[in-house]
Structure 1
Amino acid sequence: MDSIDIFIYVAEILIIVGAIAAILMPLVKSLDNPGSLLKTGVGVAILAVVFFIAYSISDGDVLPKFAAEPFNLTPGMSKFVGGSLITVYGLFIVAVVGIVLTEINKAIK
């Protein structure tokens, strides 16, 4: 094994450990305040609804060049990717509008 291979495996392990810690640590901390779990649950539910709406309006059309090797893209996968992209675009627009409105509000005060 080359040293680059070893570093790639170590990086993958560290990413997995970091992801697990990022998920578990807030859950452990929120046991002190169960109300925060409710707020988190509402946020996750809102994101799920936004994704469902975006998934519903996306189409599953696949161009022939993407249906063949090496992509093997199915209409279901295409619909999922389209829904994910629409969700990201929508949340990006909401974030930018929120930042602009916050700055305008701070400038007025």
Structure 2
Amino acid sequence: MEIVDIALYIGYALTGLATVLAIVLPLLKALDNPKGLMKSLVGVLVVAGIFGVGFALAGSEVTAAYAKFDVTPFISQMVGASLITAYVFMVGAFVLAIFTEFAKAFK
């Protein structure tokens, strides 16, 4: 085994450790403040709701060009839902940026 392989395995292990800690430690800290945890839960539910609406609106068509890459109708619908969700958040960010600038101008 070369030094590069060892370094890659160490990198994988550290990335996995960082991922686990990035998920677990905020959850442990949130237990100290249940109201903050509730606000986070509301945010997650809003994102899930927007994704659900995007999933309902997304089509499940698969063209011949994508069928050869084993794209199923479900995968096509998930990609469409992800795009619709991203579009909603981009438009929302743009509208909020414009609103913020107008609010600052009239203060």
Is the counterpart of residue 25 in structure 1 residue 25 in structure 2? yes
Runs of at least 5 residues in structure 2 that lack an aligned partner in the other structure: none
Change beyond 3 A, Cα 1:65–1:104: same
Letter in 2 for 1:48: A
CA distance in 1, matches of 2:42, 2:51: 14
- Name structure 1 gaps, 5 residues minimum: none
Query: Aligned residues, how many?
Result: 107
Q: Which residue of 2 aligns with 1:100?
A: 98
Q: CA deviation at 1:6?
A: 4.6
TM-score when scaled to structure 1? 0.84
Aligned to 2:83: 85
Name the CA shift for 1:28/1:66 in 2 (closer, same or farther; >3 Å). Answer: same
**Residue 94 and residue 9 in structure 1: after superposition, are their counterparts in 2 closer, same or farther (change >3 A)?**
farther
Name the % identity: 38
Aligned partner of 1:85: which letter? Answer: L
